[in-house]
Structure 1
Amino acid sequence: MSDPTTTSTTSPDESAAPATTTRGLQLSGMNWLIWRQHRAAFWTILAITALSVAGLVYQRADLIDQLTAHGWPDTAPDEWLPGVHAQRFQLVSFGLGFVPIVLGVFLGAPLLAGDLENGTAKLVASQSVTPSRWLATKLGICALVVIVCTAVLSIAFGRWWGPVKYESTVLGWSEGSAFDNSGPVPVALALFAFVSGVAIGMLLRRTLISMVVTFAFAVVIQVVWHFQRLNLGHVVTITTHKGIGPTAFPQLPEAALEIDRSLISGSGHTYGWGICAHEASEKVCAQKFDLVGWSVEYLPLSQMSSMQWFGASILFILTAAVTVFIFIRGRQRIV
């Protein structure tokens, strides 16, 4: 019979064990499985993003040096604009425009199509993990990668373009090269292309054909977005009654985008600005049609941010709708 006064002892190694086994935050379970399954794509996307951001930071530093050397911001734009390499903005923005398409084709389309094609989805369905949790984990991790990468690219590009955003000769704010690569728009476009690729892959269940269809769909998205971009703003109209000569043309805000111009008569009727092209003189034309001034429609640069958020909100709603469809379809028929 043991002595009741005897106390158990532990070795120093045993007492220190809990401290040595404590680890930092790590992926585990389903999160670790999804990351490991797609780690090649994730690391590739993250590495390319890091290199791209580094390049944009370098370009901004070089731009500031060039502008400062030409007297920016204390001199007129005509003085420091020669220090701006507009072709760099065009080239970089052209490349960034393909980011949503690439993410949709190479990350979204194969995400579920690959699992459905090679039978991995059947294996997952036979485990204790529910289809909803499996889909939520896959979509959540991938969406996080997409958001982080496109957001930092948007910020980096916006900071580079910021010093010259008022100069349309460098990069017009209403063009896709600037509008679609800054603010929330890159994130919204990339997320919508990504989840659309996932939905297409779920329906077609074949990786290659899903990538081809997703590419075509993403291109259609870009085309539709291109033609609807200006409709996101509220057109402002300014009129004058000081004649129709060049000196009487209204002064628009800096960097404003002119949508249309027309001539107005004393009775308020509007005529196309080319109505005087075949008249003997401007004076004769003004008398013939009783022209008294100009009417100009434009979009100011101040609306750019609200237009971007409005358009991004529409894309986020569409993304949410496609995501709901993926979950409904996935719960009903995942294998």
Structure 2
Amino acid sequence: MSTLTPVRPSLRGPARVVVRQHRWTLWIVGGIALAAVIGMIALALRSSHVAEVFAATDCRVDGGAGRACDQTTRNYLDSMLTYHRMFDYVATGLIVLPVVFSAFVAGPLIARELESGTFRMAWTQSVSPTRWLVAKLAVPTALLLAVTAVVTAVLARTRSYGDTPYPVQWHDAHTFSGSGVLPLAHVVFGTAVGALTALLIRRVIPALTVSAFVTGAAVAFFTYWRAELWPTRTLTSKTLDVQTNIWWVETGDLTSTGERLTGTACMQSASIGDRLQCMANHDITAHYLDYHPASHFWPVQLVETGILLALAALAVALAFRVLRRLHG
């Protein structure tokens, strides 16, 4: 009678080498992510408890309940502010992470081996150049995508705990970039840029510098032009008494002929009479507002994600083409 010994699944070949070579970096990234998740959950639970205690009292944030509520109100505001700052730090970290990772892929991960020539050892041991590059990119990217997905999910889940009295606007640059699927798209894009830069430059310091610059420039570009990725809605009114939780894109004045005057030409007038006279002189009859409602969150997210993934696919295709030229 024979006994079958179960085989434990494990990484093999170049994938295992990548993990062993950069295990300390992977441990550090995992530790930072775990600390961020634990910190967010702990602060969210504490903020929720403080908010419940504050709601059970007659105290008000504006201080109108008397001096007896000063300490209770201060504790409540301090707790909410601490959580709000923690939320901002984690969301900003999700924006910076793809830039750092892109530099890591370009420099220590790929360019270091190309510069030192150690890649030849792998290529002569039944590991093809294509398989070598796939392992270099796939292993750290898959691990970082998993970490990013967890942090993004925790950030989205705990967002409402500190929403009052310091509301988190869905369209804020760091909040939008750290929500939905954009953090994942940024990681993939950073990986592709890092791989292409490393194969083109093949020197550690220049490669990681250029890769970080290109990835950071792309993130900044989309942050600045994000509002143009989806058609806005327009509101025209004499007072622009609009709802909250919308993304103001552009506001200005309208003449009787429907011509747009960007900005508010008469808002600097000192008095109401001067303002009315200014509007009459400019033939201003109403105001307009171009905006994105909250329902545009996912359309803008998906359009930006699609563009980033398309650019990443192009960069990866070029990277493998350069690789084929290197090894003939």
C-alpha separation between the residues in 1 aligned to 2:106 and 2:148?
15
C-alpha separation between the residues in 2 aligned to 1:53 and 1:165?
18
How far residue 314 of structure 1 moved from its aligned partner, in angstroms, is: 0.8
Change (3 A) 1:106 1:287: closer
Partner residue in 1 for 2:186: 189
How far residue 122 of structure 1 moved from its aligned partner, in angstroms, is: 1.0
Question: Percent identity over the alignment?
Answer: 22
Is this contact kept in 2: 1:174–1:230, CA < 8 A? Answer: no
Give the 3-state SS of the residue equivalent to 1:183 in structure 2: coil
Structure 1 vs Structure 2 CA RMSD: 3.0
C-alpha separation between the residues in 1 aligned to 2:152 and 2:312?
19
Q: Give unpaired runs (5+ residues) of structure 1.
A: 1-14
Give the 3-state SS of the residue equivalent to 1:43 in structure 2: helix
TM-score with structure 2 setting the length: 0.82
Choose the corresponding residue for 2:96, options 98, 106, 127.
98
Partner residue in 1 for 2:313: 320
Residue 175 of structure 2 is aligned to residue 178 of structure 1: yes
Give the 3-state SS of the residue equivalent to 1:27 in structure 2: coil
> Which protein has the larger Cα radius of gyration, Structure 1 or Structure 2?
1
For residues 73-222 of structure 1, what are the structure 2 equivalents within 5 Å? Answer: 82=77, 84-85=80-81, 86-163=84-161, 170-222=167-219
Partner residue in 2 for 1:67: 51
Is this contact kept in 2: 1:171–1:177, CA < 8 A? Answer: no
Give the 3-state SS of the residue equivalent to 1:171 in structure 2: coil
Residue 214 of structure 2 is aligned to residue 223 of structure 1: no
How far residue 68 of structure 1 moved from its aligned partner, in angstroms, is: 3.0
| Alpha-carbon displacement from aligned partner over 1:302-327 (angstroms, at most 9, x marks no partner) | 21122112111111111111111121
Partner residue in 1 for 2:323: 330
Residue 299 of structure 2 is aligned to residue 309 of structure 1: no
Residue 249 of structure 2 is aligned to residue 259 of structure 1: yes
C-alpha separation between the residues in 2 aligned to 1:208 and 1:288?
60
| Alpha-carbon displacement from aligned partner over 1:36-84 (angstroms, at most 9, x marks no partner) | 2332222222222222222222222223223333439xxx998999462
C-alpha separation between the residues in 2 aligned to 1:26 and 1:126?
23
Would you say how many aligned residue pairs link Structure 1 and Structure 2? Answer: 309
TM-score with structure 1 setting the length: 0.80
Partner residue in 2 for 1:11: none
- Aligned amino acid, residue 32 of structure 1: R
Give the 3-state SS of the residue equivalent to 1:296 in structure 2: strand
C-alpha separation between the residues in 2 aligned to 1:274 and 1:249?
15
How far residue 283 of structure 1 moved from its aligned partner, in angstroms, is: 4.2
